[in-house]
Structure 1
Amino acid sequence: MHDVVYKVETKKDGWFGGKDSSKSEERIILKGITGSVYPGEMLAMLGPSGSGKTTLLTALGGRLGGRLQGSITYNGKPFSNAMKRNMGFVTQDDILYPHLTVTETLFFTALLRLPNTLTNHKKAMHTEEVISQLGLTKCKNSIIGETYERGISGGERKRVSIGQEMLINPSLLFLDEPTSGLDSTTAQRIVFTLWELVHGGRTVVMTIHQPSSRLFYMFHKVLLLSDGNPLYFGKGAGVMDYFSSIGYRPLVTMNPGDFLLDLANGIYSGESEEDNMSVKHDLVSAYQNNIADRLKEDLKEIGSQVTDIVVEDKRFKRCSTTWWQQFTVLLKRDLKERKHESFSTLKFAQVIVPAFLAGLLWWQCKMSNLHDQVGLLFFYCGFWSFFPLFQAIFTFPQERMMLTKERSSGMYRLSSYFMSRIVGDLPMELILPTLFVIITYFMAGLKPTPGHFFETLAIVLLNVLVAQGLGLAVGALVMDLKAATTMGSVICNSFLLVGGYYVEQIPGFIAWTKYLSISHYSYKLLLMAQYRSEETYQCGSNISCTVGSFSMIKMVGLDHKGIALMALLIMLVGCRLIAYAALMRVGVTR
C-alpha cells in the first residue's frame, strides 16, 4: 500500500436534530498510510478506537468503496475478483448461523467455496482437517448457539470464523479484532494458531486493540495508528527502541501494547488536552522524518524482492461452483437452520388456534346467512395477508450481515441465494394455510364439493404467495425491522380497506386504489369460487334472491375472473423482482 487516504462526507445537524443535506463536511479517516507485508509475516495494526484500523483493514481486503486514494497492490497487481476468492477476511463479529453445528457450518462453507475439482468427500475431509488444526474436535457436533440457546464458547466461535476462511487455504488472511472479548489464554491460543499459519507461508494482517505482552512479541510487524495518522510501521521487535530513540521511553516497566496505546492517545507525561495534542503532533512529525521515506524506498524495490503474495489460480477466476450447486447447498443449509423455527409448536399454534376459533364462530353457516359467509371469505384474505407478509418482512433484514459477509467473499451469486430463500420458505408457507382452510372450510359449512374446496384453497395459497412477495419487497427495501413492520402494517391495512368488504360505495376519486389491492383480487376470486350470479338464497320469509344482486357481492362482481387472476400473478412476480433489485445494493463492494 502506498499513501492510502480515505475521506468521507458527513452531514451536519439541521433544525430539530435532523440532518441538513445541503451542509456537509469532509472527514479524513486515513491520512497517507504506506507499508508492505511479505509472505510468512504477521502484521498487527494497533491504535485506540476510531484510529482507522478497521477502515484500513477493510480497504486492504478490497471491501471498501467510496473516496479511497493512493494505491493498494498485491505483488504489484491491483485488486481483482480472482484475488478476492483466494483471500480470507474474518470480521470482528462472528456472523454464524446459531442452529448449525460446527461441522455443518464449515462443511457448507466448503461446499460453496472450494472448487468443483474436489469431490464432496474430499471437501468433507478438508473440513475435518481444519477442525483438527483449530482444535475444534471436541465441539464439532455442538451447535453454534445464540443468546437464548447455549452453544460453543466465544473462543470456539472465533476459531470457527477463522476456519471458514482457512478452508480455501488463503494466501492472505485479514482479521478484524480476532481477540476481542476473549480471555488472555484463549486470545493467545488463537494468535498462536495464526502464527502457525504464517510459518506455513501465509500472510496474516490483523487489527488488535490492546494485546498482552505474550501476544505482542509474536507479531513480525506493527502499524500504530492515531486519528488516521501512522505513528510507526516496522518490525515488532524494534518498536520500543524506536520510540526510545525519539525521546519516548516508558517510565516504568510495562506491556508494550499498553505503552503504544497510551502514545496513540497522546498520553506520556502530561495529562492536559494540550499536552496530549502536542505528543501526537511530535509522534506524527517523527514518523515523517524517520520512517516515511524509508517505507517509500522499500516499496520501489518490492517487485524484485517478494514472491507471489496472491496466487491467481485458475480455479478462482470464476465462481467455484455452478448456480445449481449454490442453490442446492444454500437450500439445504437454510432448511437445516430454520427447521427449528418453521416446524415449531408455536408456529402451528398461531394458525391452528385461530382456525378452530373461526370454525366455531362460523359453525355450519348456511347460505341464508350470506352476509356471514362472505365475511368468512374476506377473513381469509385478511388473515392470510398479514401472517405471511410479516413472516417475510423479517427474512432479509435479519440476514443482512450474513449476506454481506458471504457475498463480499464471492461465495455465491445473489440469484442463487434469493431463489433458495424463496423455495426454502414454501413448505410452511403452503402447509399452514392448507391446514387452516381444511379446518375452517368444513366447520363453517361452505360448499363441500371437491371443485369448490380446491379452488378456494388454490386462491388462498396464491394470496399467501403474493403477500409473502410483498413482505420480501418491503423488508429488502427498508432493511430496518421497526420501519419495515410499520410500513407493512400500513400497506396491508390499506389493501383491506379498499378490498371491497368494508365500504360498499367508494368515492370515485379514490376508487382506483382497489386495483392495487391484493385483498380486492383475492376476495373477488374467493367469491367466484363459491357462488354464481344466478344462484339463489333465502333473503327473507319465503323470499328468494339471486346471489349476484347481494349488495356486498354486486359491488365486487362475479366477472372478469381472468383479469383478477392475472393481476395476482403479476404482483406475485413483480414484488419478488423488486425485492431482488433492492438486495443488489446490499453491502457488496467492488
Structure 2
Amino acid sequence: MEISCSILSFQMSITSLTTLHGRIGFVTQDDVLFPHLTVRETLTYAARLRLPRSLTNQQKEERALDVISELGLERCQDTMIGGSFVRGVSGGERKRVCIGNEIIINPSLLFLDEPTSGLDSTTALRIVQMLHDIAEDGKTVITTIHQPSSRLFHKFDKLILLGKGSLLYFGKASEAMDYFQSIGCSPLIAMNPAEFLLDLANGNINDVSVPSELEDRVQMGNLETQTRNGKPTPSVVHEQYLVEAYETRVAENEKKKLMAPIPIDEELKLKVSSPKREWGASWWEQFRILFSRGLKERQHDYLSWLRITQVVAISVILGLLWWHSDSDSPRGLQDQAGLLFFIAVFWGFFPVFTAIFTFPQERAMLNKERAVDMYRLSAYFLARTTSDLPLDLFLPILFLLIVYFMANLKTTAYSFFLSMLTVFLSIVAAQGFGLAVGATLMDVKKATTLASVTAMTFMLAGGFFVKKVPVFISWIRYLSFNYHTYRLLLKIQYGHVPPALNGVKVDSGLKETIAMVAMIFGYRLLAYLSLRRKTLQP
C-alpha cells in the first residue's frame, strides 16, 4: 500500500495560488544541477536569469552572495557541485544549493518534494531548521516528507496526513496526536509521532490502540475480504473509519477557515491579472549568460585528458601508417585518398555520437528552468549549440597538426587551412545531425541506434564501396556530410591532378561547400523544431 504523508509547514498566511511563477518556488526531489559549476556560479547564473531586469548585474550577484550566506554555504561556495563521476559538495550542501536556486527570487510560496530524501538525520534536521527559518521570515513553505524523525516532526506547524489519497487529518501538527487519541487511536508503546501516524494511514495497527468499534469493523471486513495468491489482502476498513472521523469532526471547521477571504496586495493583483510573461533578462542577455554557463560547464568534458588522449593516439597511429606517403604515383594517390576517407568518416561519426547526448541529458534541467521562465527556448538553443564551437576547434587542430605532416599531405599553408576549414564544417554539420536525432527522440538508446544506422547508410550510399549505386537510393549521399567532406578534401589535396580521382571531378568545390552549410543550418533547424515540440513553449 502506497502512503503519502505530507507536511504542510510553518504557519503563514497563504497567498493566491494563481500567482505568477516569480512568486512561487519549487524544489524537486532529485537534485538537478550542473556538476562542473561551483556553488557560487550556479546561484549567480540563477540570479542573473531569474531576478527582475530592473536590477543591475552587480545587485543580482550580491543577491546570490546573500543566499549563500543565508544557507550557510560560504565554506563550499567555490567548490564544484559534483556528480556521479565528479567529486563535489556533500548531499546536504547540494540540497541547499537547490533550495537557494528557488529562494533567490524571494518567493511567497515555496514547495519542496522530499528535501530530506537520502540525507542522514543530522543533515536532514539542518535542512528542516533552515526551512523553518525561511518560514519565520514571512514565507509559506510546503514540503512532503516520508518517515520524518521525531525531531523533524516537531518543527512543523501544520500537517496533512493522506492515506490512499484520502484526507485523514489537516490541522496543527502539535494537535495531531490529541486528535487521534480523541477518536480512540493511540500508540501502545513510546514511538515517533510520525511513525504512529504513518502506521495508522498504512493500516498497521499492531502497536496501536484502536476503539472497539473499529476492531469489530476490521474483523468483519477481514472475513469478507477475498484472497489473492492464497494470502488475504490488507483491509481498508480502518481507513474508512479515519476518513469518516475526520469528515464528521474536523473537516467542516477547517473548510470554513480556508474559505475565509484573504487580503492580497494591489501589486500582486496587477501581476496576477497581467497575462504578459516577464523575463528576468532580455533575449541577448539570456544568450550571453547561457553561452558563458555552457562554456564553463562543458569545457571539462571537451578538454578532458581521456578525450585528448583518444584523439592524439588515433592521429599518431594514422601518421605512422601513412608515414611520408607519396602522392606522385597512382598507388600513393590511392593510399592518401584512403587516409582522407578515414578523416572524413572519423570527424563525421565522432561529433554525432557526442551531440546525441546533449538534449536527452539536459532534459531535466531544461524542463526545470523553462517551467519557471528562466529563459526563452530560442536563446537556450542558440547558446547551447554555439558554446561548443570554440571547444570544437581544439581537438581537430591537434589531430591535423599530427596527421597532416606525418602523412606528408600537401604542405602549403593554403591547403592546410582549407583542410582544417573542411574538417570544421564536417564537425558542425555532424553535430547538427546528432542534435536533431537527440532532440527528436529524447532517448539516448533509441537515438544512438538511429544515428548508427543512418550514418552507416550515408557512408555506404556515398559510392565509396559500391561504384554503381542504384538511382533510387543514390540521392541519400547528398544528405551525407561524410560524402561532401571527402570530396572537398580530395579537391584540396589533388587540385593539380587533371584526371578525376575516385570519380571526383576537380573543381572549386562550391557545390559541396554550399551543401555542408545547408546541412549545418538545416539539421539545427530540425533540432530546434523538435525541441520546441517537446517543450510546447516558445
Q: What is the TM-score with the length of structure 1 in the denominator?
A: 0.79
The answer for the alignment partner of 1:147 in structure 2 is 84
Contact 2:48-2:280 within 8 A present in 1 as well: no
Deviations 1:439-482 (A, max 9, x none): 32232222223333322222211111100111111122222222
User: How does 1:188-587 map onto structure 2 within 5 Å?
Assistant: 188-269=125-206, 276-301=235-260, 303=261, 305-307=262-264, 311=268, 318-367=278-327, 368=329, 369-532=332-495, 536=497, 546-548=498-500, 550=501, 552=502, 554=503, 556-558=504-506, 561-586=509-534
Q: Using a 3 Å threshold, how does the CA distance of structure 1 residues 379 and 300 change in structure 2: closer, same or farther?
A: same
> Is 558-567 or 399-408 further displaced after alignment?
558-567
Q: Using a 3 Å threshold, how does the CA distance of structure 1 residues 483 and 361 change in structure 2: closer, same or farther?
A: same
Q: Using a 3 Å threshold, how does the CA distance of structure 1 residues 311 and 374 change in structure 2: closer, same or farther?
A: same
The CA deviation at 1:274 is: 5.3
The CA deviation at 1:199 is: 1.5
Q: Using a 3 Å threshold, how does the CA distance of structure 1 residues 583 and 495 change in structure 2: closer, same or farther?
A: same
Distance 2:312 2:16 in 1: 64
2:124 pairs with 1:164 = no
The answer for the alignment partner of 1:175 in structure 2 is 112
Q: Using a 3 Å threshold, how does the CA distance of structure 1 residues 311 and 471 change in structure 2: closer, same or farther?
A: same
Q: What is the TM-score with the length of structure 2 in the denominator?
A: 0.87
| SS in structure 2 at match of 1:118 | coil
Higher share in helix: 2
Contact 1:392-1:471 within 8 A present in 2 as well: yes
Distance 1:342 1:482 in 2: 22
Deviations 1:196-240 (A, max 9, x none): 111211111111111122221222211111222222122212222
Q: Which consecutive residues of structure 1, in runs of 5 or more, have no partner in the other structure?
A: 1-47, 58-73, 537-545
The aligned length equals: 506
Q: Using a 3 Å threshold, how does the CA distance of structure 1 residues 50 and 351 change in structure 2: closer, same or farther?
A: farther
Higher share in strand: 1
The CA deviation at 1:581 is: 1.9
The answer for the alignment partner of 1:44 in structure 2 is none
Distance 1:310 1:289 in 2: 40
The CA deviation at 1:143 is: 2.0
The CA deviation at 1:498 is: 1.4
Partner amino acid, structure 2, of 1:91: T
Partner amino acid, structure 1, of 2:21: K
Contact 1:406-1:412 within 8 A present in 2 as well: yes
| SS in structure 2 at match of 1:230 | strand
Deviations 1:291-343 (A, max 9, x none): 44444433432x2x444599368699510111121122222222222222222
Distance 1:218 1:528 in 2: 74
Partner amino acid, structure 2, of 1:311: L
Distance 1:161 1:77 in 2: 22
Deviations 1:97-129 (A, max 9, x none): 222222222122111111232222222222222
User: How does 1:73-92 map onto structure 2 within 5 Å?
Assistant: 75=15, 78=18, 83-92=20-29
The answer for the alignment partner of 1:15 in structure 2 is none
The CA deviation at 1:589 is: 8.1
The answer for the alignment partner of 1:37 in structure 2 is none
- Report percent identity of matched pairs: 49
> Is 561-570 or 224-233 further displaced after alignment?
561-570
RMSD between superposed Cα atoms in Å? 2.8
Contact 2:290-2:380 within 8 A present in 1 as well: yes
Distance 1:588 1:510 in 2: 35
The answer for the alignment partner of 2:52 in structure 1 is 115
Partner amino acid, structure 2, of 1:113: R
Partner amino acid, structure 2, of 1:581: L
